Copies of this chain bind each other. A is one copy, B any other.
């Protein structure tokens, strides 16, 4: 995949969200994610809390390395992630890069 080979880039304060057409195009590279107006969302299911937590540990490591942090919701065997670039008020290429990198780390239960 192309996006998963990229790294998130620092954004200045005047950063803008990418146009919707471009977002739709990038979303085709991360087809498991739901494209919302200002976010990318995906739910993962695991065997139990321990597996969910193991996945969140990986996500946290990627987030710190990329300095881009998803919202993370853990409910026992389910992990819900929401990606958005708050500084830009919507989606940037960084969100799609992070989605692709997270999917690389995901091993289905």
Q: Does A37 contact B (CB under 8 A)?
A: no
A21 / chain B contacts, CB cutoff of 8 Å = none
Q: Does A49 contact B (CB under 8 A)?
A: yes
Count of this chain's copies in the oligomeric assembly: 2
What CA separation (Å) do A60 and B69 show in the bound complex? 19
A50 at the interface (CB under 8 A from B): yes
Contacts of A12 in B (CB 8 A): none
Would you call A73 an interface residue if the criterion is a C-beta within 8 Å of the partner chain's C-beta atoms?
yes
- Cβ of A104 within 8 Å of any chain B Cβ, yes or no, is no
**Interface readout for A21-65 with B: 1 if CB under 8 Å, 0 if not?**
000000000000000000000000000011001001000100110
- Chain A positions within 8 Å of B, measured between CB atoms, are 49-50, 53, 56, 60, 63-64, 69, 71-76
**Smallest CB-CB A-B distances: 8 pairs:** A72-B74, A71-B75, A49-B69, A73-B73, A53-B60, A69-B76, A49-B63, A50-B64
